[in-house]
């Protein structure tokens, strides 16, 4: 009798690990679409509701990563005017905190998406993002700005960002690269518009009212209602692995099982190293141009917009090519090119040189920040897409903290 009981307990204990192993095998196999997947994709027709989700994700990118992509303009203003007693590294902690929270809190929001708590993630995220911008308009001390721009906007954007990507990824599976690339153009649009508006309005209405204008723009662009409903065929099960609530060790096993799959593990490590060089030029471009090269503040701010304009094409064209050649192949080429361009920054000493360099850099960064979402989606199941995308950025975001703050 006791022997049978022990055998049953042993078999139950092996269930999570057997499921995790099966999920690992599935994650490695899903990178190459089967003929059934291809036929299903070809036979499926997309309606207005599907494309509205892409439009909604475009605006989510606009109000989240579009804000971060224009941080170099804030960095320069803080160093010269608002926070002149603080070092450039200390000021960069504001932007780094925002980016870091986008990745770390994405773990929570991705899991909430997978379990069907979509409104519980999107609505608080939208409120926190708007509240952070409003409080930034009243900020004049370092810790004010760190809390509002770094923490509130970072947490709010993370609650918004990962679920929106997951919805579009699942909706356009098994080939999400092109829709995600088009939607990611919203980040480039924000990175073009915000630095120009900041530079033009700052002398006229001041820092406080510039941020209130940005608050209004983001409030109008917060089209979260496009994500308020999901098609019936996108219902997400609570978890791919049944785990008893009383066994915490098995819960941890389930969490770590979302990292299963050699291809997915290599993706996480690769994106980590890619982000080591991604955000440094985006944070320090404007101060470098204005003080090291002697450009006017206006032109230095325009360089930020030029970079983001080039990244618009870098987000869409590589995604379109990746639709045919494979998103992982395009990501490898983009990450290699980015590393070469970052090292080439050492030899730039003229305004013409930095302008040409910014164009190539912008195009390359567009692919590096967009394509990983499509690759992670292809390496996931519908029931864990949000969590695995969140995991990837949570790992990669540590590269941002190390690289930007060590400059």
For the stretch 272-319, pLDDT in tens is 988 887 888 888 898 899 888 888 888 988 998 999 999 999 888 888
Name the E strands within 260-349.
Answer: none
Distance in angstroms between the alpha carbons of the first and the last residue of the chain: 66
Please give the Cα distance from 239 to 336 (Å, whole number): 36
Give Cβ neighbours of residue 314 (< 8 Å, ≥ 6 apart): 334, 362, 363, 364, 365, 366, 367, 370
DSSP state for residue 93 in the 8-state scheme: H
Question: Are the CB atoms for 323 and 258 separated by under 8 Å?
Answer: no
For residue 146, count other CB atoms closer than 10 A to its CB.
18
Question: Helix axis angle, 262-275 relative to 2-29, nearest 10°?
Answer: 50
Taking residues 105-126, what's their average pLDDT?
A: 83
Q: Which region among 45-59, 135-149, 230-244, 290-304 has the lowest average model confidence (pLDDT)?
A: 230-244
Which pTM value belongs to this model? Answer: 0.76
Four-point Cα dihedral 155, 159, 164, 169, nearest 10: 90
Given a cut of 90, whether residue 147 has pLDDT beyond it is yes
| 121 band by pLDDT with thresholds 50, 70 and 90 | confident
Looking at residue 231, its pLDDT comes to 45
Here the tokens at position 229 are 């409903």
Region of 146 on the Ramachandran plot (φ > 0 left; ψ -120 to 50 alpha; else beta): alpha
Band of pLDDT at residue 222, cut at 50, 70 and 90: low
What is the gyration radius of the CA atoms in the chain, in angstroms?
22
341: pLDDT strictly greater than 90 = yes
Domains and CATH numbers, the chain: 46-228+260-405 (1.20.1250.20)
> By mean pLDDT, which of 14-28, 104-118, 187-201, 212-226 is the weakest?
14-28
| Cα distance between residue 101 and residue 154, in whole Å | 5
Name the residue with tokens 């004049």. Answer: 140
Length of the chain measured in residues? 407
Burial class, 142, CB count within 10 angstroms (exposed 0-12 / middle 13-18 / buried 19+): middle
pLDDT of residue 294: 86
Q: Is the pLDDT of residue 259 over 80?
A: no
Residue 11: is its pLDDT beyond 50?
no
Residue 382 has pLDDT above 80, yes or no: no
Q: Which two tokens stand for residue 197?
A: 């508006």
Euclidean distance between CA atoms 219 and 88, whole angstroms: 30
Q: According to the model, what pLDDT value does residue 88 have?
A: 87
Strand segments, DSSP code E, in 196-315 are none
Residue-level pLDDT at 406:
52
Q: What is the pLDDT of residue 32?
A: 42
Lowest mean pLDDT among 276-290, 314-328, 372-386, 388-402: 388-402
DSSP letter at 82 equals I
pLDDT value at residue 352: 92
CA distance 292 to 295: 8
Q: 404 near 96, Cβ under 8 Å? A: yes
């Amino acid at each position: 009798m006791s022997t049978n009981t022990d055998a049953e307990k042993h078999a139950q204990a092996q269930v999570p690990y057997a499921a995790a192993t099966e999920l690992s095998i599935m994650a490695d196999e899903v990178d190459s679409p089967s003929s059934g997947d291809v036929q299903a994709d070809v036979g499926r027709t997309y309606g207005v509701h599907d494309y509205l989700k892409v439009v909604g994700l475009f605006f989510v990118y606009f109000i989240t990563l579009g804000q971060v992509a224009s941080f170099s303009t804030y960095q320069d203003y803080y160093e010269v005017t608002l926070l002149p007693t603080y070092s450039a590294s200390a000021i960069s902690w504001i932007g780094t905190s925002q980016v870091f929270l986008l990745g770390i809190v994405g773990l929570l929001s991705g899991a909430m998406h997978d379990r069907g708590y979509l409104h519980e993630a999107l609505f608080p995220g939208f409120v926190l993002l708007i509240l952070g911008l409003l409080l930034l308009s009243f900020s004049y001390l370092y810790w004010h700005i760190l809390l509002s721009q770094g923490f509130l906007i970072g947490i709010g954007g993370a609650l918004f960002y990962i679920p929106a990507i997951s919805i579009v990824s699942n909706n356009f599976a098994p080939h999400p690269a092109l829709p995600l690339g088009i939607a990611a153009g919203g980040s480039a649009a924000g990175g073009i518009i915000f630095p120009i508006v900041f530079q033009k309005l700052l002398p006229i209405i001041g820092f406080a009212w510039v941020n209130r204008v940005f608050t209004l723009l983001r409030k109008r662009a917060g089209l979260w209602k496009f994500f308020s409903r999901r098609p019936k065929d996108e219902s997400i099960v609570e978890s791919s692995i049944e785990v008893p609530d009383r066994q915490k060790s098995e819960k941890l096993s389930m969490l770590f099982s979302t990292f299963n799959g050699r291809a997915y593990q290599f993706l996480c490590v690769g994106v980590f190293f890619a982000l080591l060089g991604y955000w440094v030029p985006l944070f320090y471009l404007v101060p470098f141009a204005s003080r090291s090269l002697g450009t006017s503040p206006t032109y230095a701010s325009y360089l930020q917009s030029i970079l983001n304009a080039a990244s618009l094409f870098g987000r869409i064209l590589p995604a379109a090519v990746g639709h045919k050649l494979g998103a992982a192949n395009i990501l490898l080429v983009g990450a290699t090119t980015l590393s070469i361009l970052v090292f080439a920054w050492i030899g730039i000493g003229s305004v013409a040189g930095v302008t040409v360099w910014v164009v190539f850099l912008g195009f390359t960064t567009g692919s590096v920040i967009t394509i990983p979402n499509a690759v992670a989606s292809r390496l996931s199941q519908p029931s864990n897409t949000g969590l695995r995308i969140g995991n990837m950025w949570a790992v990669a975001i540590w590269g941002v903290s190390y690289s930007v703050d060590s400059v």
